[in-house]
């Protein structure tokens, strides 16, 4: 198997999804990619003071600055793309901004007319910490906010809302190194985009951003067979996870739970009602993000929580 390296540039990055984008790299199933991505905004330089305007890769800033698409030879609609996240290394700086836009959250909190609040972070990869300019420190847990494939529909598609059909802006903080993520393939060769690096985030991404940072991702990319689900799902170092995405929180929750119940039926050889009963004792439903025009909910089944006596 081959290892490929890909860096972001105006030739290798996009700020929308499209099945019509020419691949910037073509790989075989089982190959490894080392992909560098800029932060979500595509900053080329760090801010020196909060809110400073610095150069962007895409001055239009229509969406996330994503590296890709990467074509996977032989991938066809109906397949499942498997991403084994081997390592995730953030840049040494990042930022967080809140109250920068009119959203349901800022309206609810009375912050529509407030001045945006910026946090500037120094990231110590060796220590595994991020320190904000005011002197507050927190541990990091790096992950990619966006891991997605080209949608089947023609035209350009925003990177902002996550899509149950192909993934994208999932923003799930559990998808750290050591995770395997499965995504449904919608177009020939899959066309994979990666980006929106986060050094750390809380469930919900309630302010609209996490610790936004550039990221170097090492991942093995393959095509999976005999998966228990045809929807987006993951196995992390800590848990099995299923997802739901919808403008209605009830629908997103129901979709995430339905997928988990299906998975538990297969894991424990029980019927749906029994799987739901077990789920009620061990599965957590978490709000993945509230920031992206579409609710995200993930159902979490911790490893080794339900085992033979």
- Tens digit of each residue's pLDDT (9 = 90 or more) over 180-213: 999 999 999 999 999 999 999 999 999 999 999 9
How many alpha carbons fall within 13 Å on the CB side of residue 265?
12
Domain ranges of the chain: 3-224, 233-302
Contact 205, 250 (CB under 8 A): no
Which of 217, 213, 175 lies closest to 197, judged by CA? 213
pLDDT on residue 291: 83
For residue 6, what pLDDT is reported? 98
Q: What angle is formed at CA 300 by the lines to CA 215 and CA 273, rounded to 5 degrees?
A: 150
What pLDDT is recorded for position 71? Answer: 98
If one counts every other C-beta atom within 10 angstroms of the C-beta of residue 125, the result is 14
Biggest CA pair distance of the chain: 59
- The residues of the chain scoring below 70 in pLDDT are none
Q: Please state, in angstroms and as integers, the Cα–Cα distance from residue 259 to each residue in 176, 254, 255, 263, following that order.
A: 21, 9, 6, 6
Fold of 3-224: Jelly Rolls (2.60.120)
State whether the Cα torsion 160-298-69-93 is positive or negative: positive
CATH of domain 233-302: 3.10.28.20
């Amino acid at each position: 198997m081959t290892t490929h390296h890909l860096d972001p540039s105006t030739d290798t990055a996009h700020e929308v999804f499209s099945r019509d984008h020419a691949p910037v790299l073509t790989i075989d199933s089982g190959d490894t990619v080392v992909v560098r991505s800029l932060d979500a905004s595509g900053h080329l330089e760090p801010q020196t003071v909060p809110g400073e305007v610095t150069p962007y890769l895409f001055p239009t800033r229509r969406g996330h600055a994503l590296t890709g698409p990467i074509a996977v030879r032989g991938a066809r609609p109906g397949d499942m793309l498997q991403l084994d996240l081997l390592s995730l290394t953030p840049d040494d700086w990042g930022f967080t901004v809140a109250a920068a836009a009119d959203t349901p959250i800022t309206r609810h909190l009375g912050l529509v007319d407030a001045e945006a609040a910026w946090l500037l972070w120094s990231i110590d990869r060796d220590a595994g910490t991020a320190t904000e300019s005011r002197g507050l420190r927190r541990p990091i847990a790096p992950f990619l906010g966006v891991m997605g494939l080209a949608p089947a529909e023609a035209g350009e598609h925003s990177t902002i809302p996550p899509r149950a059909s192909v993934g994208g802006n999932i923003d799930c903080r559990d998808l750290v190194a050591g995770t395997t993520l499965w995504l449904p393939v919608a177009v020939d060769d899959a066309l994979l985009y990666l980006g929106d690096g986060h050094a750390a985030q809380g469930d919900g991404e309630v302010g609209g951003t996490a610790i936004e940072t550039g990221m170097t991702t090492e991942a093995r990319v393959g095509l999976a067979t005999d998966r228990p689900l045809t929807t987006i799902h993951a196995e992390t170092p800590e848990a099995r996870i299923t997802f739901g995405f919808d403008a209605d929180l009830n629908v997103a929750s129901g979709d995430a739970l339905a997928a988990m119940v299906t998975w538990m039926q297969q894991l424990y050889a029980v019927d749906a009602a029994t799987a739901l009963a077990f789920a009620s004792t061990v599965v957590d439903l978490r709000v993945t993000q509230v920031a992206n025009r579409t609710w995200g909910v993930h159902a979490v089944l911790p490893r080794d929580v339900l085992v033979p006596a």
